[in-house]
Amino acid sequence: MTNLKVYLGELYKIAVIIVLLLSGTLNIKAQTLNLKSNTTPSERETSIIYKNFADQYDLLIAYTRESYWWENLKDCNVLAFKDGVCLKGYIYSKKNKNGIWSKPKIKLHEVNCDSAKMIQTYLNDAGFYTLNRDTLNINHKEINDKQDAVFSVDDGVNYKFEILTKKDFLIIESYEPEYFLQKIPELRTREEFIKCRDWFLSKYKNL
């Protein structure tokens, strides 16, 4: 009986070590994201995400949809990581008839970190953070040496991610990506954006 207790005790120690190692691996991945700022001072000044969350989190991923039809609203889904705690929620602000934005309403609550870390790890491994903003919004293609075909959509939707750490701030966005992917299928960057966007939304919803 004594030998059994010793054996079970050793198994428990091994299990604890394995859990700690796995936790360390996840934390390392969270700290070694492939991020590089691609934003301007003006974008930092006008971003509701940067103004309200800068220097607060190890990593924050915000997602929103922008359009002429709701240009007086700023409504972002938020996923944030800090010191082993994972949070999900939103930030919301509305512009009144005088053009003044309301004080942002922020609501965050703690979620399962394993599921949350899976989202950021997937996006990192998929190369989402390295997608080029200019390439994601090309609206023309060459027909011949002298002529380009130009495509456009009026009053469409811009799908936008804002990624924030304590040292980097980048925006990854694409305007009507499905339409332009159909018109310019040889540019696969939009396809990667759509895949990552849809995956993010499906996993975020279930957190």
What is the average per-residue pLDDT within 88-104? 95
Query: Does any domain span residue 4?
Result: no
Sheet containing 105-110: give its strands across. Answer: 105-110, 85-94, 73-82, 59-67, 157-164, 169-175
Range of the domain at 155: 33-205
Residue 88, pLDDT above cutoff 80: yes
Q: Is the dihedral of CA 54, 88, 20, 163 positive or negative?
A: negative
Tell me what percent of the residues of the chain surpass a pLDDT of 90: 75
Indicate whether 26 belongs to any domain: no
In sequence order, what DSSP letters do the residues of 159-190 get, joined into one string? EEEEEE-SS-EEEEEEESHHHHHHH-TT-THH
Q: Give how far Cα 21 sits from Cα of 6, 27, 113, Å.
A: 23, 10, 16
Q: What tokens appear for 172 in the block?
A: 């990854």
pLDDT computed for residue 147 by the predictor: 82
Q: What SS3 state is found at 196?
A: helix
- Within a domain: 19: no
- Domain-embedded: residue 68: yes
pLDDT of residue 2: 52
The tokens for 38 are: 């691609």
- For residue 163, being part of any structural domain is answered with yes
Single-letter amino acid code for the residue at 161: F
- Counting other chains too, the contacts that 190-194 makes at CB distance below 8 Å and 24 or more residues apart are 190/136, 192/126, 192/127, 192/128, 192/131, 193/128, 193/131, 193/136, 193/159
Residue 21 lies in a domain: no
> Is the pLDDT at 52 greater than 50, yes or no?
yes
Q: What is the mean pLDDT of residues 36-61?
A: 95
- 34-48, 88-102, 141-155, 159-173: which has the minimum mean pLDDT? 141-155
CB count, 10 Å around CB of 185?
11
What's the domain count of the chain?
Answer: 1
> Is the pLDDT reported for residue 31 higher than 90?
no
Mean pLDDT value of segment 134-146: 86
C-alpha distances in angstroms, 206 versus 100, 117, 142, 154, 159? 34, 13, 42, 33, 20
pLDDT beyond 60 at 70: yes
Please state the rounded mean pLDDT for residues 95-120. 95
What's the average model confidence in pLDDT over 177-183? 95
Identify the band that residue 44 occupies on the pLDDT scale cut at 50, 70 and 90.
Answer: very high
Residue 27 forms part of a structural domain = no
First to last CA, the chain: 44
Q: Decide if 15 is inside a domain.
A: no
Residue 55 pLDDT greater than 70, yes or no = yes
pLDDT above 70 coverage of the chain, percent: 85
pLDDT value at residue 25: 43
Q: What's the whole-number average pLDDT of the chain?
A: 87
Weakest-pLDDT range from 40-44, 85-89, 145-149: 145-149
